[in-house]
Amino acid sequence: MTIESFDADGVLDGDDLTIAYVGGGSRQWAPNLIRDLALSEFDGHVRLYDTNEESAQLNAEFGNWVQQDDDATADWSYEAVGSLETALAGADVVILSTQYDPTETFVHDLSIPREYGIYGAVSATIGPGGIFRAMRTIPVYRRFAAAVREHCPDAWVFNYTNPVHFVTRALYDEYPDINALGLCHEVLGTRWHLAMLAREELGMDAERADVDVNVKGINHFTWIDEARCKGVDLWPLLEELKDGERGNQRFTWEDLADESVFTDNWQVTWELFRRFGVLPAAGDRHIVEYATSFIQGGQETLNRWGVKRTGADYRAKHWTPAESDQTTDVEAWLEGEKEFELEPSGEEFLDILGGLTGDGPYVTNVNLPNTGQISDIEQGPVVETNAVVRAGQVKPVAAGGFPRPVRSLIQGHVDTIETIIEAARDGDVDRAFEGFSIDSQVQTLTPDESRDLFGELVAAEVDYLADWHLEESDVLAGAETYPGA
């Protein structure tokens, strides 16, 4: 088995970096990045590009304002630019972090499937909602990849946009030589949780960085079969906890009423560990959308496992910082309405950047095309494993395979993702429906229901599906919910 490394020409110069931020009007990722860069050991210039030019301008103002903070250790400058080409020209690093207005898209991903009995907890990366988010996003990211190929072909591309597995796969499908990493903090959260268990159960002085895991899977459906904290094997502790009180809790709506939707009670994690002998390594709210028996029965079933569904109302409010619970509010900071503290975000972007500039090696989880790092999944699809980051190179770590039942669960989702990627190459709607129809959530419906759900989602989001040949679709012609059918 040969595992390929992903390499760029030359080592990045940490003293003079040019970063292109596509989606530079981001309301959370960009302010987090700006704070991290101010506290870094790197210097350079950031170009912020966004179709919402006002938001990009605001973040540029914020970035230059943060540089004046007494605690800033680095020298960065920020500008908002008016075109993708200007942002990318000669860039060393490209960051991708975008989404459409959720009030026009995401809320439909949540509310319409619910009318068909599908209670997705998040609806962002798989299931009907995740697939439609992919259909909206893949064509755009193919254009981003083509632009990278033209304007900065050797740049390192960091993709934070969901659905990470679909989007990162689309980048490589368009430009196979791209140096793109799909990044997600779910495995980091699992490592944090394991450190907490080591503190509480073993009396260890442990932090996330002290925990090493062998991770493998696809984004938001990752698994671990080894876990150590400061060299101590945590597996015996996990085996003990899964059968005890911590691993066998039940919840009701009343128990969760005052909890955040992000609260993770780990009950789905423990149950799957009992069934299959390997431990899921993502938040329960994401896992249930891949192991879909946990969402059958609707809200009551979700709550029984300690999961609180993200509703459409929450997504709509989250788009407006003043109404949401997000921790970034650039305008309030700039206007002095909210106290600002220059603190790190806890993300690993700077650690990876340090590895690429020669301050390594550094090991972390990344999403990359499978070149053998997972032994029993076909090569090509994007998978998530650990990788070693060195000067100008990222090499995935061989992670092995899965117990047969887990591999079966993962393979079904890989087939959905690959089918949608193939369909997006020429905007084939009926081919996309094939991928949609084999999704494990959709398979709970009758054939007529799945077609009508597909048609209703297309009708609700038609303005964001311009790259798909809707008028040529036989499926849409037969959907009672699609206008003109």
Q: What are phi and psi of 157, to 5 degrees?
A: -110, 125
Q: Cβ atoms within 10 A of the Cβ of 18, count? A: 19
What single letter denotes the amino acid at residue 95?
Answer: I
Distances in Å between the Cα of 390 and the Cα atoms of 94, 367, 387, 464 are 18, 16, 10, 39
Longest CA–CA span in the chain (Å) reads 65
Q: Cβ atoms within 10 A of the Cβ of 138, count? A: 25
Q: Among 185, 318, 413, 469, which one carries the catalytic annotation?
A: 185
Cross-strand bridge partners of residue 42:
none
**Residue 96 DSSP code:** E
Cross-strand bridge partners of residue 180:
157
Q: Are 21 and 81 in contact (CB under 8 A)?
A: no
Query: Which token pair is 12?
Result: 């990045």
Query: How far apart are alpha carbons 297 and 302 in whole angstroms?
Result: 8
Query: Which token pair is 86?
Result: 């200007």
Q: How many CA atoms lie within 13 A of 369 on its CB side?
A: 19
| CA dihedral of residues 308, 208, 231, 358 (deg, nearest 10) | 130
**Residue 188 DSSP code:** H
DSSP SS3 for 131: helix
Q: Catalytic: 108?
A: no
What single letter denotes the amino acid at residue 469?
Answer: H
Cross-strand bridge partners of residue 389:
362, 394
Query: Which token pair is 372?
Result: 């053998």
**Residue 374 DSSP code:** B
How many helices and strands in the chain, by DSSP H and E?
19, 14
Instruction: Supply the residues annotated as catalytic.
Output: 185
